[in-house]
Amino acid sequence: MEKLYSLLEQHYEEMISIRRYLHEHPELSFQEVKTPAYIADYHRQLGHEVKEKVGGRGVVATLRGEKPGKTVALRADFDALAIQEANDIPYKSKVDGVMHACGHDGHTATLLVLAKVLNQLKDELEGTIVFIHQHAEEVSPGGAIAMIEDGCLEGVDVIFGTHLWATEPTGNMMIKSGPIMAAADEFEVTIQGKGGHGAEPHITKDAIVIGSQFVMNVQQIVSRRINPLYPAVISIGHFEALNPFNVIADTAVLKGTVRTFDEEARSMIEQELEKVLQAACLAIDATYQFKYKHGYPAVRNHQEETDFLVEIAKHIKEIKKARECEPLMAGEDFSYYLQHVKGAFFFIGACDPQWTEIYPHHHPKFNIDEQALLIAAKTLGVATIQYLQK
């Protein structure tokens, strides 16, 4: 392990350089072109077997050790978000309206440099390492499910993945067995009323009033219909009725998200949303359209692999605290990998304790403490080597 640590530390500046290059050149989900080409070229220069366009735009690289053995897969995502960066930094995004606001640039840089270091140790490795570089994590249906269907997990015994977490102090690791991230669904509601003059509400069917009733009544689903022992969130983030100020709206469109861990609660919320909508429209004799889209399932870590990572964390000096975290209501399509092979997903803190302003993921001023990349690389590296030696 000392060789691994030493080599990673020697290549730390390269890790930072790659991360900043990717940060300057972000690409949106399902629109990635230059990023996967960059990743594939990097692996080819290392002599790895490389497959491009896996599941669409993914890249899979394979490193075979000197001796046969088990196969470990490591996954990193590389897509960005449709957000205008507001950071004043030398490596600010050069693409208008697009930025790496979730740390995927750091994930990719971590895995690339770790691949280089493990390549330098391949004569001592038993088994095979598969580097899964995934496109389109941010937008459902995501890239994971298509990459799996295209064979990225063939022959894999275990998979590990990590997420740099910008609101957790650097030096902390967060993990838990079982559900750690929520199922993430989305819905869209279109209410068709009857518009009219603002001075004559009695001859209209106000779509805004109906939509407002829907928004308020939806709040009772989680508090009064779902078992309080099952975490659930319903958030409506879009309410649109494009009318002048003195015109009663004919149509309103609402969009929202549902986050759950329990499949029964997930199904119940879908049904209850339409019931609430139906009741609101029935009261004013309006009509509606209801669309519900199932997104990523919940991320569920396997117990043995979770315990394995917790034990590893005790021997990495940069990890000051490894704690069991509460389940996060955010979604992640890493869940699909864990439905096919054993493994675990964990978080590495990436918030410099000296920062006075801390911004969450998907914020225009999102950033990460780059020391976290080295910690993530060491954790994944140790996990890989020790698993192959088991």
**For residue 351, what are its two tokens?**
């918030």
Is 123 designated active site? no
Selecting among 27, 32, 79, 138, the annotated active-site residue is 79
Selecting among 27, 77, 105, 137, the annotated active-site residue is 137
**For residue 376, what are its two tokens?**
């993530």
Four-CA torsion 372, 338, 225, 223, nearest 10 degrees: -10
- β-bridge pairing 342-351 and 158-169: parallel
Is 79 designated active site? yes
- Any idea which residues carry the catalytic annotation? 79, 137
